[in-house]
C-alpha cells in the first residue's frame, strides 16, 4: 500500500509539472491555431462601418466583455475623495523643478485609505505643462534619493536590490529605482512627472482582498469581490484615474495632455486605465505581456493559466474560467488597444523578454489598426515587426522592441518622449 501511495504521489507530481511546462512555450512553431475576435463585428454579427456605430454599439460591448471576463468591473459605491498638499519644494534639483507631495484620501463610512502622490513640475516651462503619470513598484522614495520624499508605510514586496526586507520600506531603499525614472531627461523636455506607489491602492499579494481599496466598496456582509468585480489591476487603474482627477485641479498641469505609463504588471494597468478612462491623452505600455498588450490566444510565454495561477488577485475571478480554454475567451488584447483609439498608444517590448511575448505585443498593435483607420487616424504605420532598436514613431500606434531584458530604461523613455512630442505638444 505504501508503494502505491508513493507511486500515486509521483504521478500527481509529474502531471503538475507537465501541465506547468505546457504553459511555457517559446517555440513559434508550437503556437496553436487561433481565431481573433473582430473588433469591427458586433456581438450580433453586424459589421461596424461608421465611427458612430463604434462609439454607440461596439465599443461599449467590448468594454463590457473585458470588465466581466478579464479585469472586473468597479462596483458602484459613494466614495468621498479629499486632497491635501503635504509639501512643496520650489527648488528641487537645483531649481530644475518644483516637487509637490499630495495626500489623496478615499473615504467610505468609517474607513479611510490614503495614497501619496509625488509630482515634479519643470520650473522653466510655461504652465500648464503636459505630464506623464505612472505608478511605481516600491514607494515614491525609490524614484529619487531626495530625503524629503515620504517613505511609504504600506506593505512593500521584498527586494534585495532595494534593501527591502520584512515587507517594509526604509531609508536604505531611497532612489533605488531612479534608473526607471530619468527625471532630468523628462523635466528638461518640458514634461511633468506624477507617480504614486501602487501598493497604497492595493498591496500586491493575494489575501482575499481584505486590504487596500476593495473593502471600501463592499456591501454589508461582503468579504471579497464578486466573480465579475475588480481584481488588483482594475483597482490600480481606478487609482490612476483618481490621480488624474487631482491633476485636473492643479493649475501647473494640463490634464488634457496626460500620458499614462506603466511597466510590466503596471503596463497592463496603464492599458486598462486608458481603455476605461478616455481622459488620458496617451497610453504607454512597457513590457506588459499577458493581460497587457500580448495576444492571449497565442499561448506563448506567460499564458492566461500561468498568470492566474501565479497572481490570482490581478484579474477578476471570471478570468480563471479561461485558464484551460483560452480559445473561448470572447476578447483578446488587440481589442484592448482598439478601445484606446483614436488616442495615441505606444507599446514596447524587449528582445530577451520572451515571457512577455514581443511578437504577440506587436500583433495586438497590428490587429487594432483597422479600428484606428475607421476613426481616420494613422494607426500602426508598418506591416512587419521592426528590427531591434528601430522604433516606429510616425503613426498613432507606436512600437519598438529593444535589445535587453525585462525592464524600463532611459532608451525606452527617449522614445516615449519623442512620441509625446508628436502627440501632446
What positions carry a catalytic annotation? Answer: 264, 406
- Any idea what the Cα angle at residue 324 is, between residues 320 and 329, rounded to 5°? 65
Q: What is the 3-state secondary structure (H, E, C) of 302-368?
A: CCHHHHHHHCCCCCCHHHHHHCCCHHHCCCCHHHHHHHHCCCCEEEEEECCCHHHCHHHHHHHHHHH
Is the separation of the CB atoms in 340 and 275 below 8 Å?
yes
Q: How many CB atoms lie within 10 A of CB 157?
A: 13
Distance CA 226, CA 67 (A): 12
Only one residue has cell 527586494, namely: 159
- Residue 324, CA distances (Å) to 192, 197, 296, 297, 357 in order: 44, 33, 12, 11, 19
Contacts with 154 (C-beta within 8 Å, 6 or more apart), sequence order: 139, 197, 199, 200, 203
Enter the C-alpha cell of residue 304: 492566461
Inter-helix orientation angle 333-340/358-374, to 10°: 40
Distance CA 191, CA 186 (A): 6
- The maximal CA–CA distance of the chain, rounded, in angstroms, is 80
Question: How much helix, strand and coil, in percent to the nearest 5, is found in the chain?
Answer: 40, 20, 40
Full strand arrangement of the beta sheet holding 282-286: 80-91, 97-108, 111-122, 192-197, 129-136, 253-263, 282-286, 345-350, 397-402
Is the separation of the CB atoms in 195 and 115 below 8 Å?
no
Only one residue has cell 469581490, namely: 225
| DSSP assignments along 78-91, one per residue | --EEEEEEEEEEEE
Question: Helix count (H) and strand count (E) of the chain?
Answer: 11, 9
Amino acid at each position: 500500500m505504501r508503494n502505491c501511495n508513493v507511486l500515486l504521489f509521483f504521478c500527481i507530481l509529474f502531471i503538475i509539472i507537465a501541465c506547468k511546462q505546457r504553459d511555457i512555450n517559446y517555440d513559434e512553431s508550437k503556437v496553436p491555431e487561433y481565431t481573433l475576435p473582430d473588433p469591427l463585428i458586433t456581438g450580433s454579427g453586424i459589421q461596424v462601418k461608421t465611427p458612430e456605430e463604434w462609439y454607440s454599439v461596439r465599443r461599449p460591448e467590448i468594454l463590457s466583455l473585458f470588465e466581466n471576463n478579464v479585469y472586473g468591473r468597479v462596483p458602484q459605491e459613494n466614495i468621498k475623495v479629499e486632497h491635501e498638499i503635504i509639501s512643496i519644494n520650489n527648488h528641487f534639483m537645483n531649481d530644475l523643478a518644483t516637487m509637490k507631495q499630495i495626500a489623496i484620501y478615499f473615504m467610505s463610512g468609517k474607513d479611510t485609505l490614503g495614497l501619496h502622490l509625488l509630482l515634479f513640475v519643470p520650473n522653466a516651462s510655461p504652465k500648464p505643462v503636459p505630464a506623464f503619470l505612472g505608478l511605481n513598484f516600491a514607494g515614491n522614495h525609490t524614484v529619487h534619493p531626495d530625503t524629503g520624499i515620504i517613505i511609504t508605510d504600506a506593505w512593500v514586496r521584498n527586494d534585495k536590490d532595494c534593501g527591502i526586507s520584512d515587507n517594509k520600506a526604509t531609508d536604505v531603499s531611497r532612489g533605488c529605482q531612479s534608473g526607471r525614472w530619468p527625471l532630468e531627461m523628462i523635466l528638461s523636455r518640458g514634461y511633468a512627472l506624477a507617480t504614486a506607489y501602487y501598493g497604497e491602492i492595493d498591496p500586491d499579494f493575494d489575501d482575499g482582498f481584505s486590504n487596500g481599496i476593495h473593502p471600501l466598496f463592499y456591501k454589508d456582509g461582503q468579504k471579497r469581490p464578486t466573480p465579475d468585480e475588480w481584481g488588483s489591476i482594475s483597482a490600480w487603474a481606478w487609482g490612476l484615474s483618481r490621480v488624474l482627477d487631482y491633476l485636473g485641479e492643479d493649475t501647473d498641469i494640463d490634464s488634457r495632455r496626460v500620458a499614462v505609463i506603466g511597466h510590466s504588471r503596471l503596463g497592463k494597468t496603464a492599458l486598462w486605465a486608458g481603455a476605461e478612462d478616455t481622459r488620458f491623452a496617451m497610453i504607454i505600455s512597457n513590457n506588459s505581456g499577458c493581460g497587457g498588450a500580448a495576444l492571449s490566444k497565442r499561448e506563448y510565454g506567460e499564458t492566461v493559466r500561468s498568470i492566474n495561477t501565479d497572481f490570482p488577485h490581478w484579474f477578476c475571478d471570471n478570468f480563471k474560467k479561461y485558464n484551460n480554454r483560452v480559445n473561448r475567451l470572447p476578447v483578446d488584447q488587440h481589442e484592448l488597444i482598439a478601445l484606446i483609439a483614436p488616442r495615441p498608444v505606444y507599446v514596447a517590448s524587449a528582445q530577451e523578454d520572451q515571457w512577455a511575448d514581443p511578437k504577440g505585443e506587436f500583433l495586438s498593435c497590428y490587429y487594432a489598426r483597422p479600428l484606428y483607420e475607421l476613426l481616420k487616424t494613422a494607426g500602426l504605420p508598418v506591416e512587419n515587426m521592426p528590427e531591434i532598436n528601430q522604433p516606429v514613431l510616425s503613426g498613432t500606434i507606436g512600437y519598438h522592441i529593444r535589445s535587453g531584458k525585462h525592464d524600463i530604461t532611459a532608451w525606452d523613455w527617449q522614445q516615449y518622449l519623442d512620441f509625446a512630442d508628436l502627440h501632446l505638444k
